Amino acid sequence: AQSVTQLGSHVSVSEGALVLLRCNYSSSVPPYLFWYVQYPNQGLQLLLKYTSAATLVKGINGFEAEFKKSETSFHLTKPSAHMSDAAEYFCAINYSGGGADGLTFGKGTHLIIQP
């Protein structure tokens, strides 16, 4: 079985500060990992995905994530937070070769940006 754990249900940073959202995974097979963002009253939007190519993945809106097998982590970062980054962020997992068999999501991290 696969799972992801997001550390911290709420993260608060100042505008312009580094954003770090943590995700650790558990999988018995090579995983595919994803970060999605959800703005209020909207569906989930793909930020970036790791599918066993480069371990450092760049996504939209200046976000990036690094796959670290030794730490079973896939943390999401952004060098400088913007007010528009305030949203709910979800880490998700599937497995290589799993095709579109559905993603398993973490509980989500609510990112708060302080002016």
Partner 1 sequence: DARVTQTPRHKVTEMGQEVTMRCQPILGHNTVFWYRQTMMQGLELLAYFRNRAPLDDSGMPKDRFSAEMPDATLATLKIQPSEPRDSAVYFCASAPSGANVLTFGAGSRLTVL
Task: Establish if 106 lies at the interface with partner 1 (CB under 8 A).
Answer: yes
Paired sense of beta strands 19-26 and 73-78, if any: antiparallel
Q: How far apart are CA 24 and CA 70, in angstroms?
A: 11
The footprint of partner 1 on residues 62-91 (CB under 8 A) is 90
Site string for partner 1, 24-53 (x = CB under 8 A): --------x-x-x----xxxxxx--x-x--
Among 13-21, 66-74, 75-83, 93-101, the segment contacting partner 1 (CB under 8 A): 93-101
Contact call for residue 107 and partner 1 (CB under 8 A): yes
Residue in 27, 73, 94, 109 binding partner 1, rule: CB under 8 A: 94
Count of positions on this chain that bind partner 1 (CB under 8 A): 24
Q: Is 115 in the site for partner 1 (CB under 8 A)?
A: no
∠ CA 64-2-112 to the nearest 5 degrees?
A: 40
For residue 34, what are the CA distances in angstroms to 16, 31, 64, 95, 103? 24, 10, 11, 11, 9
What length is written for the chain?
115
The residue written with tokens 């799993």 in the block is 98
Residues that bind partner 1 (CB under 8 A): 32, 34, 36, 41-46, 49, 51, 90, 94, 98-108
